[in-house]
Structures are given as C-alpha cells and as structure tokens.
Amino acid sequence: MNADLNPLTSPPPEEVPLRDAPLVRVIAQVRFPLILSVERADFVAPFQEAIRTAYPVLHQEVAPGILVGAQAFPAERKLAAWRFADAEGAWRVSLAPGFLALETTDYNSRAKFLERFDVAVSALHEHIKPGVVQRLGLRYIDRVTGEALEDIRQLVRPEMLGVIGASPGAHARQALSEAIFDVPGDSEQLLARWGLLPARSTMDPAGIEAIDDPSWILDIDMFSTKQRDFEPAAISADARRYAERLYTVFRWAVTREFLNRYGGET
C-alpha cells in the first residue's frame, strides 16, 4: 500500500493472505438495550438451536453489568452471559442481556468471519429481538513476538515505532501509544493502540492474554455508538465496511517485510 495514502479515506487494498498471520484475536460486537430475559435458559433456547451445529459447547458465566432501577443511583448487578463455542474452542459466540459478540483465535479469512457474524446477528434478530442497536464494533489484535520482535523496526512504519525507533528504544521495557480517529463520512470512530508490552503483562485482559515473552501489539477497533433500528442487513454491511477500513489501516501500518515475514505473497 502507498505510504502516502490516508488509511482512513483510501480505498482498501487487495487482501494479501498471511499463512502465519500474527493475528491473535478478532472480535465483533453489537450492543443493545438490556433484555433481562436473556438470563433465562428457556428464553435463550431457540437462539441456541439456531447456532448449535456450529457452536455445540455451552456454558454460562456471570458478568458485571449496570441495572438502572427505581433507586436514585444505578445499582451494580451481575448479569448472566451465555458462551457458545465450537469443539476446539477457537470460535465463540457470547450472548448477554446487553450484547452479542463473536470472537475467534483462528481467523483465516474476512469472508468466513463475516459470514459467521451474519448468522449470529440473524439468530439474535429472530429469537431475541433486541429492536435497537446502541453500538457496533469490530476489533483486530495482532501480536509480534520472538525473532520477529527483534526486527520490528523493519516490519512496521517508523510512525508506529515511537520511542522504540530511537536510540533509547533498545532499553525500553514498555512503550504504548493510543489514538482515536473520527472516520470521515459518518459517525464512526477508530481506536488504535500499539506498542511494546513486557512479558506477563497486558493492556486488556479480556482481549490480550498475558504471555511469558515480550511482544509488540497492534490493536485496532472501529465502532459506532449511533443508536438505530436493529436491521441485520445494515449491521452486516457496516461490519464489512469496518473490516475493509481496519485492513486498510493495518496495511498502512506494516511494511512489505511484515507481509513476507508472515507468509504473504507480494
């Protein structure tokens, strides 16, 4: 991708599949007003049947949430979240009273991920009927480790290196950056976080596991908090557009050496 192009407005480049992509997690999430009936197994059962072939493993977790009641101040409430997973545990759909999320640690194509998200959103629309979307987001997390980390200056743009691209960088233990961009054209924003993480640390336990080695993270998340009607076709179209924009940002951030290092044929 031409380094002079603006990744927030440029047309998306042609995809270059990476055989050994360092993409550790991809998450799509749609949030909606609380539906407390989601805590009931009988209410959720038809949704489970709609996706059970792909996600046969089910367990329930309790997650913190906020319930605004008659009292003067919001009250903390623990809300049940249903986790539907495939047999290998690489794909998971999470359903809670206020959101649906699809996540994977085995991402191998944009089309496959978005197809699975479409199925989950359609099942949500048919069986849970949220009616309103309050937030839609798509997030990609890349992690560079090992020998590739030693070559990070050749793998990403100088603008993405920060202090680790300068002489003191050889002594840096942690160096993280964050930026929020308004995406031209509508109400979406893009949150980017990147940089060096030390061993056994994380900046987000829910999305980035702590590992035993230092790593360089690129975490990009495009989202909209504009409230609108829950229309599966529109949600699917927006998710595809988010994926294309996030890929454009990714390609702007990395070099040709990065693509070659991880098995891309350029």
Query: Judging by beta carbons within 10 Å of its beta carbon (0-12, 13-18, 19+), is residue 91 exposed, middle or buried?
Result: buried
Return the pLDDT at 168.
Answer: 76
List helix spans (H) across the chain.
41-51, 110-127, 146-150, 152-155, 232-253, 256-261
Return the pLDDT at 68.
Answer: 36
> Measured between alpha carbons, how far apart are the two ends of the chain, in Å?
11
Return the pLDDT at 150.
Answer: 92
Amino acid identity at 199: A
**Tens-place pLDDT, residues 128-168:** 999 999 999 999 999 999 999 999 999 999 999 988 887 77
The CA–CA distances, whole Å, from 154 to 5, 91, 157 equal 20, 32, 8
Return the pLDDT at 185.
Answer: 84
Instruction: Give me the residues of the chain with pLDDT under 50, please.
Output: 65-76
- Distance separating alpha carbons of residues 232 and 243, to the nearest angstrom: 16
Return the pLDDT at 65.
Answer: 44
Query: Can you give the pTM of this predicted structure?
Result: 0.91
Instruction: Report, in this order, helix, strand and coil percent for the chain, each rounded to 5.
Output: 30, 30, 35
